[in-house]
Structure 1
Amino acid sequence: MFSIYTKEFSTNIRLAYPVILGMLGHTLIGVIDNIMVGRLGATELAAVSLGNSFVFIAMSAGIGFSTAITSIVAQGDAAKDNKMVRSAFHHGLLLCTVLGLFLFGVVSIAKSLMSGMHQSPEVIALAAPYIDWVAFSLVPMVIFQGYKQFADGMSLTKYAMYAVIFSNVIHVFINYVLIYGVWFFPKMGMLGAALGTVISRLAMLAYMHYALSHNAKLKQYFTNFSFAEIKASMLKKISALGLPSSMQMLFEVALFTAAVWLSGYLGKTNQAANQIALSLASMTFMFAMGLSVAAMVRVGNQKGLRDYVQLRVVARSIFLLAIIVEIVFAILFMALHNYLPHWFVNADDALQLQDNTEVIKIAATLLIVAAVFQISDGIQVVVLGALRGLQDVKIPTVITFVAYWVIGFPISFYLGLYTPLKATGIWIGLLAGLTAAALFLYLRFNYLTNKLIAGQEPALKTVDI
């Protein structure tokens, strides 16, 4: 029975692994910041956590919006409709540029909210200037996503991987010399990490444009651009798919961001421990994110071919692969939960020994909970990818809101602030929200594919181009 799914594994992996490596590269930028800044102290690590929480919310909105480009391009590519592909790329890139600038402005204004969030004053003082720089990096980051999602939709997933690897090399170097003041470079501490993020993301965007525009298959989409080609119908189509997808990702990331803020209310050691566990969980989540993109592309292809039986086989093969991968990570987290937090703090620093010891202890406990929710998190994101490939976004948006904010957040809030569980209680709420999302999103996918196979097109609106 499983053989019909496992025979798809090789195709899934070939498509997903460059995306996984690219997504890991994005996450690695944050992890590098955490490791290098964590050596400066728990206060600095907590400040990076607080600062990045604002940026990650905005970035999730940008990434979620851009996924609309992939599903349309994948459908057009399978149907050999170059006009659809070109239109989706040009309109999507324009919308991503506008969105990147908008998100930069929103984060710059929103940083003033920190003073009313019951965060440590010393943490706020360090986080504010850090946010100014990292918020600007949203502009090249979201524009890059426009290029990336276009390439992913064309099943050319390696370009983004190479771009992210290139940017990480730059990021590590700049971080090292500017955080610690190596050679003739000034010692900038946290601001050095922020500047490294900005420069590396600008480099990533430049690389991606150059690489795609010089690809023989893609050159046709980089010539003769004109604003006269911009049509309201395509802007509406991408927005109709992108805005709900943006909200889906926003609801999840906002829940994890709320965990950062709740843990900050408990104190800087809880906030630093939360950031350690979140950094590690984010790295493993990128494997599921890569498989989610594979699901979106392959389901979009099958939708273009109208082969709905194979569509469900392909999607379920990706779901199964994600479960296997996340079980492996869950086992690793359980086995290494006492050792992994040591990567992020300097346990030999006598001046901060008490704080660092407490951070390690709390983070180790959080990793046990993180081990359990690996599976739920993996399932919900790959099913979301399949639903985006079907261009079904409205009902999944409602599902994610209910799962994360009606179920997950109240549990996190109560267990974290009103029980002795504290940070562990916050993460139990995350687990509850992710599990609810995984269950109901799969039921939605199963319902839609049953109708498609039965020859009953679900009421999913499309826009003519």
Structure 2
Amino acid sequence: MLQLTRSQLNTEIRACLTLALPLAGAQLAQAATGFADTVMMGLLGSEVLAAGGLGATTFQGCLLVSSSIVSAVSPIAASAFGAGKTQELGKIVRQGMGLAVLLSVPIVVLLAFSRPLFLWLGQEESVAVQSEAYLKAIVWGFPAGLGFAVLRHFVSALSEPRPVIVIMVCGTIFNIFGNYVLMFGKLGLPALGLAGIGYASSLSLWGMFVALLLYCRQPRYRKYGLFRDLYQFEGRLLRELLHIGIPLGILTAAEAGLFTVTTFLMGQLGTVTLAAHQIALQTAAITFMIPLGISFATTILVGQRMGQQDLRGARLAGFTGMGLGVVFMAAMALLFWTVPEAIVSLYLNVNDSGNREVVLLAGQLLGVAAMFQIVDGLQVTAVGALRGLKDTRIPMLIGLLAYWGMGLSCGYWLGLRLGYGGVGLWWGLAIGLAFAAGILTWRFRALTDQPWAPR
């Protein structure tokens, strides 16, 4: 049993929050960019919104999975930093950048010529054409987005996350301004419509990457040798990045895929159900950004302690992160339970009788989402703690079993077979996430349940 004083616990909580708050803020800024893009697409009409939404979802999905793969830089760099291996850090970053390039090339080609794929998936010709135009504009920012992810995980591993949030907030503001200028042809520039939003996002991604790159060129970073031997291949490190990163990418794709399939199933139940689902899902996605930031911080702190051969400290950092994730999401769950109509009013006019069915169903889904929130906060921080131990393959299998084996099958059975509709589908999500949270927490406890003497 781990015995702690109040002072030790407070110190650990402060260390986690110092890292987590900037990282969570950065995730919120990223979510705000997507929200702003969607709103501004709507100004161009419903068909443009549909096409832009399809293109944006495709781009963000590819970037999310690829970023998860290069996030392997975080635990490896944190462990090297904890062990005082300064030169190793430069090698890790360089191989991470090489991996980002390798991932970017095929994805850029795929996205730039996406129209045949959209048509094959049954999209209308006009939507496919406009989506491809958007992707051809934004795709140039894909390598920069991945490069920024590598540098973001590097500076965070050094316990210096503040420049990340400053740069991302500035990037979000620039993106919104660029959308307006390029969409409508202001400042003497041509009006590019939907493609203008893509170009603005691409410029924003490059701006953030260059800004963080310049930050890393400060004299105090020279000891890490980030820009030394740029073309030197380190097979050992690249293999370690792939060994840790590929399962993370698969796990991210599995979780995102679960929500995508659930959305399609919601669509089969009618527009009221789908609209209510989108309200509840968008709300849950926003609150999820905070425990996601805590998860990244937990990875770094656990990795640093493992680099110092402090297994006791790694265990404490992991459970502190999980506790903070659960506490925050419990507070959000209380809001979902007590003021669902106030939340729905952010999206719809709740006094309009035409919206009444959606308002009522969205309130019911938010009630289920309250339980969903707590277990989601626990599972994502547990994944972060295990990532700090460089344990990703078994969590990947646990995630696949929980999300697709438990979550989707239970949701399908409850929602479509037993007739509980959208509420049943959401209970399936909650069951899958609860299963993942329990097993992942148990695994972290088992892996760190060792004698406390440093190894």
**TM-score normalised by the chain length of structure 1:** 0.85
**Partner deviation per Cα, 1:376-434 (whole Å, 9 max, x = no partner):** 11111111111111111111111011111111122334445556544433332222221
Give the corresponding residue for 2:394: 395
- Aligned partner of residue 230 in structure 1, secondary structure: coil
Letter in 1 for 2:212: M
Q: Distance in 2 between matches of 1:186 and 1:267?
A: 40
Give the corresponding residue for 1:379: 378
Give the corresponding residue for 1:224: 228
Q: Distance in 2 between matches of 1:290 and 1:144?
A: 16
Q: Distance in 2 between matches of 1:272 and 1:182?
A: 34
Q: Distance in 1 between matches of 2:124 and 2:411?
A: 20
Q: 1:218 to 1:413 in 2, by over 3 A?
A: farther
**Partner deviation per Cα, 1:78-108 (whole Å, 9 max, x = no partner):** 1111122111111011111221333333445
Out of 79, 85, 90, the residue aligned to residue 75 of structure 1 is: 79
Contact 1:326 1:378 in 2 (8 A): yes
Give the corresponding residue for 1:102: 106
Letter in 2 for 1:442: T
Give the corresponding residue for 2:342: 339
Between the two proteins, the alignment pairs up a number of residues equal to 451
Alignment pair present for 1:66 and 2:66: no
Contact 2:87 2:225 in 1 (8 A): no
Contact 2:93 2:226 in 1 (8 A): no
- Aligned partner of residue 228 in structure 2, secondary structure: coil
Contact 1:119 1:265 in 2 (8 A): no
Q: CA deviation at 1:5?
A: 3.4
Q: CA deviation at 1:51?
A: 3.6
Q: Distance in 1 between matches of 2:174 and 2:96?
A: 28
Contact 1:78 1:301 in 2 (8 A): yes
1:18-33 pair list within 5 angstroms: 18-33=22-37
**Partner deviation per Cα, 1:111-145 (whole Å, 9 max, x = no partner):** 64545657788866765544444454433211210
Q: CA deviation at 1:6?
A: 4.2
Alignment pair present for 1:322 and 2:328: no
Give the corresponding residue for 2:240: 237
Contact 2:115 2:129 in 1 (8 A): no
Letter in 2 for 1:242: G
Give the corresponding residue for 2:428: 429
Letter in 2 for 1:143: G
CA RMSD of aligned residues (A): 3.3
Alignment pair present for 1:211 and 2:211: no
Q: CA deviation at 1:48?
A: 4.8
- Aligned partner of residue 341 in structure 2, secondary structure: coil
Q: 1:208 to 1:443 in 2, by over 3 A?
A: same
Alignment pair present for 1:288 and 2:291: yes
1:37-436 pair list within 5 angstroms: 37-38=41-42, 47-108=51-112, 112-115=116-119, 127=131, 129-178=133-182, 190-214=194-218, 216-218=220-222, 220-227=224-231, 229-266=232-269, 270-344=273-347, 362-418=361-417, 420-436=419-435
Give the corresponding residue for 1:460: none
Q: Distance in 2 between matches of 1:189 and 1:44?
A: 9
**Partner deviation per Cα, 1:50-70 (whole Å, 9 max, x = no partner):** 444333332221121122111
Letter in 2 for 1:243: I
Give the corresponding residue for 2:14: 10
Q: 1:40 to 1:163 in 2, by over 3 A?
A: same
**Partner deviation per Cα, 1:283-331 (whole Å, 9 max, x = no partner):** 2111111111111111111101111112211211111111111111112
Letter in 1 for 2:91: S
Contact 2:311 2:448 in 1 (8 A): yes
Contact 1:330 1:374 in 2 (8 A): yes
Larger CA deviation: 94-103 vs 322-331:
94-103
**TM-score normalised by the chain length of structure 2:** 0.87
Q: CA deviation at 1:7?
A: 4.0
Unpaired runs of 5+ in structure 1? Answer: 458-465
Q: Distance in 1 between matches of 2:422 and 2:122?
A: 16
Larger CA deviation: 149-158 vs 180-189:
180-189
Contact 1:20 1:290 in 2 (8 A): yes
Q: 1:106 to 1:85 in 2, by over 3 A?
A: same
Contact 1:46 1:271 in 2 (8 A): no
Alignment pair present for 1:439 and 2:438: yes
Contact 2:185 2:191 in 1 (8 A): yes
Q: Distance in 1 between matches of 2:339 and 2:194?
A: 29
Q: Distance in 2 between matches of 1:117 and 1:140?
A: 28
Larger CA deviation: 55-64 vs 44-53:
44-53
Q: Distance in 1 between matches of 2:277 and 2:124?
A: 15
Larger CA deviation: 246-255 vs 38-47:
38-47
Contact 1:100 1:143 in 2 (8 A): no
Q: Distance in 2 between matches of 1:384 and 1:18?
A: 19
- Aligned partner of residue 222 in structure 1, secondary structure: coil
Q: CA deviation at 1:158?
A: 1.2
Larger CA deviation: 103-112 vs 156-165:
103-112
Identity %: 27
Contact 1:159 1:212 in 2 (8 A): no
- Aligned partner of residue 243 in structure 1, secondary structure: helix
